[in-house]
Structure 1
Amino acid sequence: MGAGPAAATGAVQDTSFAHLLNPDRKWYNNKRIIILNAWIVLLLITSSTTGYDGSMMNGLQSLQQWQDDFNHPSKGRLGLLNAIQNIGALAGYPFAPYLSDGIGRRKTVFLGATIMLVATALQTASQSVGMFIGARFLIGFGLTFAANAAPMLVTELAYPEYRAPLTSLYNSLWYSGSIVAAWATYGTFRINNTWAWRLPSLLQGIPAALQFSLVLFCPESPRWLVSRGRDAEALRTLAYYHADGDEQDPLVQYEFREIKTAIEFDRNVAANIGWKSLIATRGNLKRMRIIVALAFFSQWSGNGLISYYLNEVFTQIGIAGSVTQLLINGVLQVWNLFWAVLAAFMVDRLGRRFLFLSFAALMTLFYAAQAVCFAEYSKHGVAAAGHAVVGFVFLFFAAYDIAFTPLIVSYTVEILPFSLRAKGFSVFSFVISVALVFNQYVNPIALDALGWKYYLVYVCWLAVEFVFLWLFLVETKNRTLEETAAIFDGEDVLQKIAHGGTVQETAEIYEKADGKA
C-alpha cells in the first residue's frame, strides 16, 4: 500500500475515446443529450435535500417561533436535533448498496423518495420535539437509498465528454437546497405562528416529490443492465442517448465493449463480490484509503462548525440579530453555489490533484485567519475583528467549494469499479454520517467551552489533510469510467480493459498488477 508523491502524480494520458466523439454532438444542440441531461438533473437534486436540511436547521435556530415550540434546545438536545438525520442515514447504509445493485438504480431512488415524502409530512405536522426528531430520522433513512443510487446513475448514464462535470455537479447542488432553505426561513421569519417553521419543513419535500413522480421514467444504467445480462437493453440505451440511436456508432461500440469487459473481469477474475472485496486486493485498499479519508475530511475541515452552528459563531463575534444572521446565511449559500458549480466545470481542465491541493492550502490559510480574528474579538472586543471573521468565512468556503464540494462524490464513484461502486460509495456515505454525527454533537459543546481556541484544532487538522492529499491522491482526469477505476489495478489492466481484451488475458495481467500494486 506504500505510495508517495511520484506514485500519486504519475502522468495520465488523454482518453482513447476522445477521437470517437462527434464534434457536432454537443449538449446544447443535440436533442437526445439534452433529454439525457434533463434526466440527470432530476437525479442531481437528490443532493439538494441534504443541503436543504443543514441550512434549514441553521435557519430554524434563528427563528423565535421554533425556539419557543421546542423549548429552546441547547447543547446535547440541539446536537441531537441536528445529528438525528445522519443517525437515520446510518440505519439505511447496510441495505442501500444491495438495493442499488439488486433492484436497480432507478427503483432505489424511487424508494428513497417515497420514504422522504412520508417523513417530510410528519416533520411538517410535528406536535412535539419527539415527533420532529422521529421525522428527521426517517428523512435520513430514506435519503440514504436515493443518495446511494442517484450519483452512480448519473455517472453511469452521462455522455462521456460530460461525465466528470455532471457527476461533480451532484454534490455542488447541495447548495441549491441550502439556498432555498436559507431564504425560506428568512422569508417566514415574520410569520407569527408555527408556520414560520412548518413551511420550510414542508418545502424540504419538493425534490422527493419530483423524483417520486418522474424517476421511474428515467433510463436505467447501462452498466447495471449488462451486469444483469440485459445486454441488448444496455446497448439500446447507450445508442439512444449517446449516438442518436445508432448502435454501430464507434463511440457506442467502444463504451459497450469496455463495459462488458470490465464487468466480466470483475465477475470472473477479480471476484469483486461482498464487503470483503473492498479490501481484498492492494488496488482496492488504495481506493478505500482515499475514499475513507475524503469522506472524513469533507466533514472535519471546519465547515461543519459553520454549516450547522453559524448562529452560535455569529453570536460569539457580536452579530446577534436574527435578521442579520439569516441574511448572511442566505448570501453565503448563493456564494457557495457559484464557486461549487464553477469548479464542477473545471475538473477535467485543471485536474483533481490541482484542485484538491491548491484549495486545501487556501482553506488552511483562511481558517487560521478566522482563528486570529475570532481571538482578537474575544480578547479585546474589536468589532472590526468580528466582521473580518465573516469575510474569512466567505473566503474559506470559496476554497472548500472549489475542492471538496464538487469532487468528493465524483472522485469516489469514478475510482470504484462497477461491482464495488454501490458498496464502496455506501462506505463513503457511512463515514460521512459518522463524522457528521460526532461533529454535530461535539461542535456546540466545544465551541461553548473553548471559544476561538477551538478553531486552532481545525487549523492543525487542515494541514494534516494537505499532506495526506499530496502523498496519496491519484490524478484521474480525462479517462472513461472503466479506465479510471482500472488505474488502481495497474497500467496493464487499464490498457487491456480500455481495448476490450478477453477476460483470460486481463486475468493474467491482473495477477501481476496486484502483486506489484
Structure 2
Amino acid sequence: MGGGPAVVSDGGGYAHLIDNSRPWWRNSRLIFLNLWIVLLLITSSTNGYDGSMMNGLQSLDQWNAAFGTPTGGKLGLLNAIQNIGSLAAYPFAPYVSDGLGRRPAIFIGAAIMIGATILQTASQSVGMFIGARFVIGFGLTFAAAAAPLLVTEIAYPSQRAQATSMYNTLWYLGSIIAAWTTFGTFHIPTSWSWRIPSALQGLPSVIQVGLIWFVPESPRWLVSKGREEQALKTLAYYHARGNAQDPLVEFEFEEIKAAIAFDRDVASNVGWLSLIKSPGNRRRMRIIIALAFFSQWSGNGLVSYYLNKVFDAIGITDPTTQLLINGILNIFNFFVAIVAGLLCDRVGRRRLFLTSTIGMVLFWTLQTICFALNSQHGDKRAAHAFIAFIFLYYGFYDIAFTPLIVSYTVEILPFALRAKGFTLFNFSISLSLIFNQYVNPIAFKRLGWKYYLFYVFWLVFETIFCYYFILETKNRSLEETAA
C-alpha cells in the first residue's frame, strides 16, 4: 500500500473489508457519525431556503409594498445579490478550508450568516435588504465550500456516495420550509409576513454554530497537516468502533497517506494553475464547470426564482394558488432527489445523468408547446398541462442535477485540489446564477413563451455533453476515483 492509490477495474477496492455482520443503525458510532453529517448537510438548506423565500416574497403584497414592487433589473439585483456576495468570498474560502480546517470554515461562514440574517430581518429599506443578502452570500461561501468536503471525507466508505449526494438534495428541505413559511405568513397584515421568513433563514446557521465542534475533523486534512495519529484515531473511532488495527481502517489510513504523499511529490505547487496544468486536471475542470452551468441553465432558474411570473403569464394569478403550488413542487422535488441520491451507487452516475437530461429535453419541450398554446389561443387546458409538465420536468432534473453535481465534483478531485476545484465549481454556479437572475426576468418579459425555445436547444446540448464526457465512478473510494 505504499506506492500510491491502487485502482481496480471494477472499483470497490475496500468492499471486502466492510463489516457486514450487523446493519449500520445498530452501530452507535456510525449513528453519531451520520448525525454529524446531517448537521453538515443542512448548509445546503440555507441556499435552498433563499431561492424559495424570494419566490414566495414576490407573491406577498406586504413585501412588495415595503420595497416598491421591484421588477426587471431591480428584481434581478434583489435575487442576484446573494450570489454576488458569494463571488466576493471565493478568493478566500479555499485557503480558510485548507489552512484552518473544514470545521473552522463552516463556523466562520455560519457566524457571518447569523449576523446578516438579523440585518435582513430588520431591514427598513431596499438598500438595507440588498446589503444583508450580500453578506449572507459572503458567509455562505465559507460554509458551503467546506461542508460537502467534510461530508465526503468523514463518511463511512460504503455510505460516502449516498451521504454526499444528500448534500445538494437538502437544498429542497430549505426550499420546502421557505415555501410553506411564506404560505403560512401570507395573511399576516404587517411587515412580519416577510420578516418571519427572513429570520428563519438563519436557523441552520444557529444550529451549526452550536454543534460544529462536536463534528470530527477530516482525516485527510489532518494527515495533510502532519497530524496522522489524530487522523488514525478519528478513522478508528467512527469506522471500526475504536479498533485502529481493523483492516478497513488500515486500508483507509494507508491509502490516504499514500495519496497525499503522491500529490505532494507530483504536484509540489498546488496553486490555482494546477487545475489546468495536466490533461487529467483539464478534463476534470471541463466536466466540473459544465455541470455547474448545466445545474442552473437547464430552465430551472425560471421556476426557482420567477415561478410567480410564469404563473402570471399562463393566467394563474391568485397568490394563494401560486404559493400552494410552489410548496407542493418543493416537496415533490425533495423526495425524488432523495431516492435518486440513494441509488447513485446501484444505478451509476452516468446512467442517472443521461436519464435526467433526456427526460428534461422531453418535458421542457412539452412545457414550451403548452405555454405557446395558452399564450396564443388562451387554451386553459394547455395551462393546466403546463403545470403537470413542470412537475415531470423537475422529476427528471432531480434524478441527477440535484443529488449528483456536488458529490460527483468532489469525488473526481484529488485531495490537494479538492478545495480549490470545488471553489471553482461554486464560482461557476454563482456566475451562472447571476446571469440567470438578471437575464431571465428581462428576457421572459420581452419574449414570453419563445424564451423557452432557447432552453430546448440548450438541453439537447447538455445531453450530448453528458454522453461523451461523464465517466462512471460508482463503488470506488475517493483515492481510487481521483487516480
Shared fold per TM-score greater than 0.5:
yes
Listed one character per residue, the Cα deviations across residues 267-287 of structure 1 (whole Å, up to 9, x for unaligned) are: 122335100000111110110
For 1:301 and 1:119, locate their aligned partners in 2 and report how far apart those are by CA, in whole Å: 30
What displacement does 1:26 show?
A: 3.0
Indicate the residue corresponding to 1:36 in structure 2: 33
Give the AA of the match of 2:81.
I
Indicate the residue corresponding to 2:90 in structure 1: 93
SS at match of 2:25: coil
For 1:267 and 1:57, locate their aligned partners in 2 and report how far apart those are by CA, in whole Å: 45
Decide whether the 8 Å contact of 1:160 with 1:480 is kept in 2.
Answer: yes
Query: In the alignment, is residue 379 of structure 1 matched against residue 383 of structure 2?
Result: no
For 1:62 and 1:313, locate their aligned partners in 2 and report how far apart those are by CA, in whole Å: 12
Query: In the alignment, is residue 413 of structure 1 matched against residue 406 of structure 2?
Result: no
For 2:21 and 2:28, locate their aligned partners in 1 and report how far apart those are by CA, in whole Å: 12
Decide whether the 8 Å contact of 2:87 with 2:430 is kept in 1.
Answer: yes
Query: Which of these residues, 195, 200, 211, is aligned with residue 198 of structure 1?
Result: 195
What displacement does 1:427 show?
A: 0.2
Indicate the residue corresponding to 1:303 in structure 2: 300
Give the AA of the match of 1:196.
S
What displacement does 1:365 show?
A: 0.4
Query: Which of these residues, 287, 290, 308, is aligned with residue 290 of structure 1?
Result: 287
What displacement does 1:16 show?
A: 1.6
SS at match of 2:168: helix
Give the AA of the match of 1:106.
R
What displacement does 1:315 show?
A: 0.3
Which residues in structure 2 correspond to 1:327-476 (within 5 Å)?
A: 327-476=324-473
Listed one character per residue, the Cα deviations across residues 498-517 of structure 1 (whole Å, up to 9, x for unaligned) are: xxxxxxxxxxxxxxxxxxxx
For 1:264 and 1:30, locate their aligned partners in 2 and report how far apart those are by CA, in whole Å: 32
Listed one character per residue, the Cα deviations across residues 183-215 of structure 1 (whole Å, up to 9, x for unaligned) are: 000000000000000000000001000001110
Decide whether the 8 Å contact of 1:271 with 1:277 is kept in 2.
Answer: no
What displacement does 1:358 show?
A: 1.1
Indicate the residue corresponding to 2:256 in structure 1: 259
Indicate the residue corresponding to 1:495 in structure 2: none
Listed one character per residue, the Cα deviations across residues 410-461 of structure 1 (whole Å, up to 9, x for unaligned) are: 0000000000000000000000000000000000001100000000000000
Query: Which of these residues, 20, 23, 27, is aligned with residue 23 of structure 1?
Result: 20
Give the AA of the match of 1:114.
A
Query: In the alignment, is residue 160 of structure 1 matched against residue 188 of structure 2?
Result: no
What displacement does 1:249 show?
A: 0.1
For 2:137 and 2:356, locate their aligned partners in 1 and report how far apart those are by CA, in whole Å: 30
What displacement does 1:359 show?
A: 1.5
For 1:88 and 1:12, locate their aligned partners in 2 and report how far apart those are by CA, in whole Å: 43
Query: Which of these residues, 144, 148, 153, is aligned with residue 147 of structure 1?
Result: 144
For 1:272 and 1:205, locate their aligned partners in 2 and report how far apart those are by CA, in whole Å: 38
What displacement does 1:217 show?
A: 1.8
For 1:170 and 1:24, locate their aligned partners in 2 and report how far apart those are by CA, in whole Å: 28
SS at match of 1:416: coil
What displacement does 1:12 show?
A: 5.0
For 1:335 and 1:444, locate their aligned partners in 2 and report how far apart those are by CA, in whole Å: 25
Listed one character per residue, the Cα deviations across residues 9-52 of structure 1 (whole Å, up to 9, x for unaligned) are: xx950312100001024321100000000000000000000000
Give the AA of the match of 2:297.
W
For 1:137 and 1:258, locate their aligned partners in 2 and report how far apart those are by CA, in whole Å: 41
Runs of 4+ in 1 over 4 A off after TM superposition: none
Decide whether the 8 Å contact of 1:12 with 1:476 is kept in 2.
Answer: no
Query: Which of these residues, 219, 223, 231, is aligned with residue 220 of structure 2?
Result: 223
For 1:473 and 1:37, locate their aligned partners in 2 and report how far apart those are by CA, in whole Å: 29
Which residues in structure 2 correspond to 1:11-160 (within 5 Å)?
A: 12-160=9-157
SS at match of 1:15: coil
For 2:174 and 2:161, locate their aligned partners in 1 and report how far apart those are by CA, in whole Å: 21
Give the AA of the match of 1:171.
N
Structure 1: give runs of 5+ residues left out of the alignment: 1-10, 487-517
Indicate the residue corresponding to 1:492 in structure 2: none
Structure 2: give runs of 5+ residues left out of the alignment: 1-7
For 1:438 and 1:447, locate their aligned partners in 2 and report how far apart those are by CA, in whole Å: 13
The size of the alignment, in residue pairs, is 477
Give the AA of the match of 1:468.
F
Decide whether the 8 Å contact of 2:11 with 2:480 is kept in 1.
Answer: no
Closer, same or farther in 2 for the Cα pair 1:242/1:136, shift >3 Å? same
Listed one character per residue, the Cα deviations across residues 352-383 of structure 1 (whole Å, up to 9, x for unaligned) are: 00000011000000000000000000000011
For 2:345 and 2:216, locate their aligned partners in 1 and report how far apart those are by CA, in whole Å: 25
SS at match of 2:94: helix
Closer, same or farther in 2 for the Cα pair 1:432/1:482, shift >3 Å? same
Decide whether the 8 Å contact of 1:352 with 1:476 is kept in 2.
Answer: yes
Query: Which of these residues, 471, 477, 480, is aligned with residue 480 of structure 1?
Result: 477
TM-score normalized by structure 1? 0.91
Decide whether the 8 Å contact of 1:272 with 1:419 is kept in 2.
Answer: no
Give the AA of the match of 2:241.
D
Query: Which of these residues, 228, 232, 235, is aligned with residue 235 of structure 1?
Result: 232
Give the AA of the match of 1:44.
L
Indicate the residue corresponding to 2:4 in structure 1: none
Decide whether the 8 Å contact of 1:359 with 1:402 is kept in 2.
Answer: yes
Decide whether the 8 Å contact of 1:266 with 1:272 is kept in 2.
Answer: no
Decide whether the 8 Å contact of 1:185 with 1:200 is kept in 2.
Answer: yes
The alignment-based identity, stated in percent, is 66
